[in-house]
Amino acid sequence: MNFDDTPQEAEFRAAARAWIAANAPKQYEDELRKSSLGRTVLKNANILEVAKAWQKKKADAGWACLHWPKEYGGRGSSPIERVIWQQEEGPFGQLSRMFIIGHGMCGPTMMAFAREEHKRTYLPPLASGEKVWCQLFSEPAGGSDVAGLRTRAEKDGDDWIINGQKIWTSGAHYSDYGILLTRTDPTVPKHKGLTMFFLDMKSPGVEVRPIKQASGASDFNEVYFTNVRIPDHQRLGEVGDGWNVSLTTLMNERSAIGAAVSTGFPELFEYCSSLMLDGGPAIEDRAVRSKLANWAVKASGLKYTSMRAISALSRGERPGPENSIGKLVAGSMIQDVATYALDLQGAAGVVSGPEDAELAGRFQAMLLRAPGTRVEGGTDEIMRNIIAERVLGLPGDIRVDKDVPFNKIPTRGR
Amino acid sequence: MNFDFSDDQKQLRDQARKFLTEKCSPKAVRVVLDGKAPYDKQLWKGLAEMGFLGVAIPEEFGGAGAGHLELCVIAEEMGRANAPVPFSSTVYLAAEALLIAGSDAQKKKWLPAIASGEAIGTLALFEGKGNPAPKNVKLTAANGVLNGVKKPVADGAIADFAVVAARTGSSGRESDISLFLVDLKAGGVEIKGLTNLDPTRGQAEITFKDYKAESLGAAGEGWSILTQVLDRAAVLCAFEQVGGADRALEMGRDYALDRIAFGRQIGSFQAIKHMLADMYVSATLARSNSYYGAWALSTNAAELPEAAAAARISATQAFQHCAKNNIQVHGGMGFTWEFDCHMYYRRANAMALGLGSLNYWEDQLIERMRKKNAA
């Protein structure tokens, strides 16, 4: 049992570290290090531009999308090298956030299902960050039940005509392309009538409207499709096989091993170390300590669970299912941590303006953003179902709409 | 990086599981649970023959000389089997105290006897309510003459010797505490068994009246030795707790698959599925924290105090959580003496107290993290 790199890993780490030291945008390091959930901002720069520039620089030097094949803009690295890169990239990894969907989900789906000429055309600029991609799956009628989506695709000569609405599309407002899951046959059971495409987000008939979130910010969008034309060669997978194609996408989403999950604990520990409560530091208060200790062991438990998965990668094995707990644990934890950080301040905790609030309002921002983390990318309830069914082998939920033609499924509860 | 046990260590775990599945069935555990024997003597003998009792004891003292990682995998299996033997008091507490502070003669006398299964040892620290703290040690030792009462002492009624914490000063500092080694079978001490939550591991009260004892370690070093012993034991107990938590989770899962109600497997109801998923989450967090503790223990890392406290808290919570909800999944049958659920519930709650309360370890963890940050 050890934390040591193998000689090859050490060599890779040294090379990555040296390149990052020489090339990273250090002027933003401090701000990026201090960013937390709900607050990743640069005071004097547009973060999208900074992120794109960093990604392009990495791509030019062969450090972008490490695990992708070289011909598509990657480096052909092993999974463990990808993890080592993330560890070395540290706070600058925050700048990869807007590429996560494109690199983690759209790219692998294109690689598995697109024509070779499309892969060679579209993947390199996706890897280099010159083009940003989004994923158009969720709909008002299909959240956790993605296969309940209603956006229609109808064949018209060599094209498909798209009509409908997507929602919760991260980054659609700055995306160039998207992968789109549609319904091509409403007369068969819901999982069987779906088809996947990719499209240019600038296509006529695509309208992006930002959603104002409960936090006040707008990270997500609604996307409307009105008679949007997509050529058939942009179809991914067979007609009617869209559900299986989407599983490839989602599996990639959940296999992001080693990606640090935000728990809020380091921020809270630091805050309690400096906060004075009734004449003494908060951290000396027995009740505060009890709270902190409970979160400390969750945070360390997640960290070492991730280390176990990374070890499996290092040995060339597939990691076990342990990593599926990360988002479930971190999501509700960061919400509780933020709530407690405000509680420690008493009435003053209510003040959230960056100019007046403690720590420029980072815990207030965290509190307001946290409900979203428990919903996005699979709700807490879906995550528990996944653990129960795939890890523990418990039966799937009883699905009353499984064998019913999609157009016969009720659309309203009352 | 290989943050995992080696293939040899995993093999040892399989070997221990096979042995315990055969020799330590729930039926065997029940002999002790029902009070028909103070502990499972046959099993104890078997554990010695397998080399498990002395796995972390150096060869020169009659052990296998393997190490603490090997002991961790065996501990996990002991917890899984709910083994009714004085393993934790003898191997994690008494043997570790001897390894840290024993003289050559003391090690030669007791360690080979532990490895061969001839001697059961324990630590006599607590004196009624309260957590590990110098101020809670009231039993006095004046020129090695002990006076006072220790309780509860784990496995005290069956132990051959005890490491006893005693007060040798009154300065209010840690250096007031010294350790002594007492041969409990030599006479002169009064031992009374105590009814306790988990009858598969006994507890006792030991009274010392003008009892002349030999020192263990230097005078005034007692507290520093004890702190090290408790940290090591915290990691080793965490593995037992992880083993117990996993078994309780499995029992709940299996029952949820077997039991039909409302015309379907109860494991198909989300209320049950989600409860079991949450049990898996806490067991996984505990396992990962315990692995870190094992790494720190086996390398004698500066991180051990923090890692041990984290493993202790996480594993205590996980075992309690899994044992409690295993009964809930079982419904009424889980609350019968006949079903095995309560054995894990008893063990989980007894283990949660054995090295001091959860709140004590929470306090320790944050204090240790703070010290590290300040350094």
User: Nearest CB to B253: which of A273, A292, A392?
Assistant: A392
Q: How far apart are CA B310 and CA B317, in angstroms?
A: 11
- The one-letter amino acid at B286: A
Scanning every residue of chain B, which has its alpha carbon at the shortest distance from the alpha carbon of A290?
A: B362
Residue B296 has pLDDT above 80, yes or no: yes
Residue B160 has pLDDT above 90, yes or no: yes
Residue A253 has pLDDT above 70, yes or no: no
CB contact under 8 A, B253 and A395: no
Please count the CA atoms within 13 angstroms of the CA of A253 that sit on its side-chain side.
16
What is the reported pLDDT for A304? 94
Question: What does pTM read for this prediction?
Answer: 0.94
What are the pLDDT digits (tens) for B191-223? 999 999 999 999 999 999 999 999 999 999 999
Q: Is A163 on the interface with B (CB under 8 A)?
A: no
Q: Is A290 on the interface with B (CB under 8 A)?
A: yes
CB contact under 8 A, A329 and B268: no
CB contact under 8 A, A398 and B288: no
CB contact under 8 A, A387 and B281: yes
Residue A254 has pLDDT above 60, yes or no: no
Residue B375 has pLDDT above 90, yes or no: no
- Average pLDDT estimate for A62-66: 95
Name chain A contacts of B292, Cβ cutoff 8 Å: 300, 304
- Quote the mean pLDDT of chain A: 92
User: Nearest CB to B4: which of A311, A383, A384?
Assistant: A311
- Chain A and chain B share a number of CB contacts under 8 A equal to 159
Buried b (16+ CB within 10 A) or exposed e, A214-224: ebebebbbbbb
Please count the CA atoms within 13 angstroms of the CA of A102 that sit on its side-chain side.
27
Name chain A contacts of B253, Cβ cutoff 8 Å: 392-394
Check if the beta carbon of residue A392 is closer than 8 Å to that of residue B253: yes
CB contact under 8 A, B363 and A387: no
Check if the beta carbon of residue A409 is closer than 8 Å to that of residue A190: yes
Name chain B contacts of A296, Cβ cutoff 8 Å: 310, 365-366, 369
CB contact under 8 A, B295 and A3: yes
Residue A327 has pLDDT above 70, yes or no: yes
CB atoms under 10 Å from CB of B262, counted, come to 8
Give, as one character, the DSSP assignment of residue A261.
P
Q: How far apart are CA A1 and CA A362, in angstroms?
A: 38
- Average pLDDT estimate for B247-254: 98
DSSP for B266-311, written as a single string: GGGSHHHHHHHHHHHHHHHHHHHHHHHHHHHHHHT-TTHHHHHHHH
Q: How far apart are CA B284 and CA B261, in angstroms?
A: 29
Q: Where are the alpha helices (DSSP H) in B102-175?
A: 104-115
CB contact under 8 A, B69 and A1: yes
CB contact under 8 A, A325 and B363: no
Residue B277 tokens read as: 């998923």
Residue B82 tokens read as: 């709910």
* Banded pLDDT at A278 (limits 50, 70, 90): confident
What is the reported pLDDT for A259? 63
| ipTM of the complex in this document | 0.96
Residue A258 has pLDDT above 60, yes or no: no
CB contact under 8 A, B285 and A296: no
Q: Is A354 on the interface with B (CB under 8 A)?
A: no
Å between A59 CA and nearest CA of chain B:
27
What is the reported pLDDT for B100? 98
- Give percent of chain A above pLDDT 90: 74
Residue B294 tokens read as: 């094992």
CB atoms under 10 Å from CB of A396, counted, come to 12
The residues facing A156 across adjacent strands are A159
User: Nearest CB to B2: which of A2, A300, A303?
Assistant: A2
What is the reported pLDDT for A17? 97
Name chain B contacts of A303, Cβ cutoff 8 Å: 288
Q: Could you list the beta-strand ranges (E) of B63-137.
A: 121-124
What is the reported pLDDT for A244? 94
Q: Could you list the beta-strand ranges (E) of B99-202.
A: 121-124, 140-142, 145-154, 161-167, 177-183, 189-194
CB contact under 8 A, B281 and A297: no
Q: Residue A45, exposed/middle/buried by CB under 10 A (0-12, 13-18, 19+)?
A: middle
CB contact under 8 A, B291 and A292: no
* Banded pLDDT at A3 (limits 50, 70, 90): confident
Measured between alpha carbons, how far is residue B84 from residues A361, B57, B253 in Å? 54, 22, 24
The residues facing B356 across adjacent strands are B354
What is the reported pLDDT for A300? 97
Q: Which of residues 130-149 of A touch B (CB under 8 A)?
A: none
Q: Residue B36, exposed/middle/buried by CB under 10 A (0-12, 13-18, 19+)?
A: exposed
Q: Is A353 on the interface with B (CB under 8 A)?
A: no
- Quote the mean pLDDT of chain B: 97
